[in-house]
Amino acid sequence: MLRTPTGGAGNGAVTAGERLVSIGTVLSQLRDEFPEVTISKIRFLEAEGLVEPRRTASGYRKFSPQDVERLAQILRMQRDHYLPLKVIREHLDALARGEQIKLPAPGRREIAEGPWEAEGERPTAARVGRAELLAAAEVTEVELAEWESFGLISEERGGGYDAEAVTVARLVADLGRFGLEPRHLRGVKAAADREAALLEQMVAPLRRHRNPQTRAHAEATAKELAELSVRLHAAFVQSALGIRLQ
């Protein structure tokens, strides 16, 4: 059980003796315990609404000691308990209300119950059979065979499909209703593979790190990078469509 007086993401007036610091100073303070943390990581957590630093008149971020402690709490929950950001936010809100929370055992991923799409918190080793994939995605054998021939979906080594294949199948089917055929989506798949290879290069040093906690944190880092990459891709597409629609 854990209980702390740390407040929520929003901050009130600075109390006497409280000193605000820059994001670079925050990085230095956190890196002793979290060697993998970066400025981009801190900015990402801010963008997700988990921490709200103050801003100077010129727009620079300024963090209070409470902000730094909150960031440390977030990073510990990710590193030690593998909690997704949504759950971390709920825990921090509960702590701000003075409630006690119960965290999963260190090193144990908390798996959400329910269908595959529930917060992505399924075991990474989860597999579905061909019949299960067809039923879950509501597609035909002919459609699946065609998508496989274009490399959009493929079986895992040892047979079966990863749970993400269900999402891919549903999206490909939805796009097909607008006239996008599998041959049109080969380029999208190839671009995603190249992007994944780039992100893997960034995560690889964490996986080779001597610190076992840092190695364990590699998966969470890869997930964060993937989320940022998806958001960037969506922004590019929306921006391009906006230009064309003007």
Helices (H), the chain: 23-31, 39-47, 65-81, 85-96, 130-137, 141-149, 164-176, 182-207, 212-216, 218-245
What tokens does 183 get?
């041959």
* Per-residue pLDDT at 18: 61
* Higher-pLDDT residue of 16, 242: 242
Determine contact, residues 41/57, Cβ cutoff 8 Å: no
Q: Do domains 1-110 and 112-180 have the same CATH topology?
A: yes
Please give the Cα distance from 106 to 128 (Å, whole number): 28
Q: What is the CATH number that goes with domain 1-110? A: 1.10.1660.10
* Per-residue pLDDT at 244: 52
Q: What is the mean pLDDT of residues 223-236?
A: 86
Q: What is the CATH number that goes with domain 112-180? A: 1.10.1660
Tens digits of per-residue pLDDT, 155-174? Answer: 888 788 887 888 899 889 88
Q: What is the mean pLDDT of residues 199-220?
A: 79
Q: Is the pLDDT of residue 68 over 90?
A: yes
From the list 233, 111, 105, the residue with the least C-alpha distance to 163 is 111
What tokens does 54 get?
């103050």
Residue 80's alpha-carbon distances to 30, 37, 95, 99, in angstroms, are 15, 14, 18, 21
Q: Delimit the domains of the chain by residue range.
A: 1-110, 112-180, 192-246
Q: What is the mean pLDDT of residues 101-116?
A: 51
DSSP 8-class letter at 4: -
Percent of the residues in the chain that have a pLDDT greater than 70, as a whole number: 82
Tens digits of per-residue pLDDT, 126-148? Answer: 678 888 888 878 889 999 999 99
pTM (2 decimals)? 0.48
Torsion angle defined by CA atoms of residues 209, 45, 43 and 189, in that order, rounded to the nearest 10 degrees: 70
* Higher-pLDDT residue of 107, 75: 75
Determine contact, residues 71/11, Cβ cutoff 8 Å: no
Residue tagged 């922004």 (tokens)? 235
